[in-house]
Amino acid sequence: MADLTPAALLPLLVQHIEDPYELVRELLEQAASTAEGDSFVLNGRAYRRVITDSDRHRERSRGYLPVRVIDDATGQIIHIETDEEQAFREWVCIETPRHSGVRIEEMCELTHLSIRRYQRASGEVIALLVIAPSKTDRERVIPMSAELFHVIAQAQAGSGMPPSVCGRRSDEAWASRSAICASAMTARSANVLVSLRDRSAAPRRCRPLFRSSV
């Protein structure tokens, strides 16, 4: 009998978050290097770079030009940076607790001051994640693995967009957006796990990923 516990379904949850994030990152990269009116194809889907009147006004007033495309199949205008930012937040809200074991409320308190380093006598430098006191009156210090360091570094780094738009360099923006996203992701993760469990229990009615190989 298949193991349908949350721990067993975690890899599927991670894939459920990572795949859209990787896709929107590729879409943003290609769209940003495409001239206005030109088209490109990504994963068999055609997109066309578009610049609206409001985008031109924003460029003149703020010096920032948003990246938008039109999905040729649906005619929908996609603000890729907004989608990428949301996908990024969801990825961070899953990967940070996954690699550190911190609770959601602890993750929402993380800032650049939470990142410290310790140098051993041998000269080796270890990155540390300092967790503010929550249930206890003592802070916790977690040595960061390579995977956790990558996530935290991405969360603190800019994406090339102005900080007011991206919000990844601002501690206040990081805390507030992380809190909102974490709350939403708690419910979403639970729904995803339930959905995956249901699909695993009824493989013949599911997509090929969950069908029996028999």
**pLDDT score of 12:** 84
Query: Which residue do the tokens 């809190």 mark?
Result: 179
CB 31 within 8 A of CB 67: yes
Range with the lowest mean pLDDT among 46-55, 160-169, 185-194? 160-169
CB 145 within 8 A of CB 101: no
Would you list the domain boundaries of the chain? Answer: 6-207
**pLDDT score of 2:** 56
pLDDT in tens, 119-148: 888 988 899 999 888 777 788 899 999 999
pLDDT in tens, 26-78: 999 999 999 999 999 999 999 999 998 888 888 889 888 889 999 999 999 99
SS3 112: helix
Cα–Cα distance, 148 to 128 (Å, whole number): 10
Mean pLDDT of the chain: 75
- The dihedral of CA 105, 108, 109, 113: what is its sign? positive
CB 168 within 8 A of CB 157: yes
DSSP β-bridge partners for residue 140? 131
**Assigned token pair, 111:** 């800032």
Cα–Cα distance, 202 to 212 (Å, whole number): 10
Question: Which amino acid type is present at position 100?
Answer: S
**Assigned token pair, 9:** 């379904």
End-to-end CA distance of the chain: 15
Closest C-alpha to 69, from 81, 61, 59, 60: 81
Mean pLDDT of 9-24: 88
pTM to 2 decimals?
0.68
Q: 45-50 and 39-42 as β-strands: parallel, antiparallel, unpaired?
A: antiparallel
**Assigned token pair, 19:** 């795949």
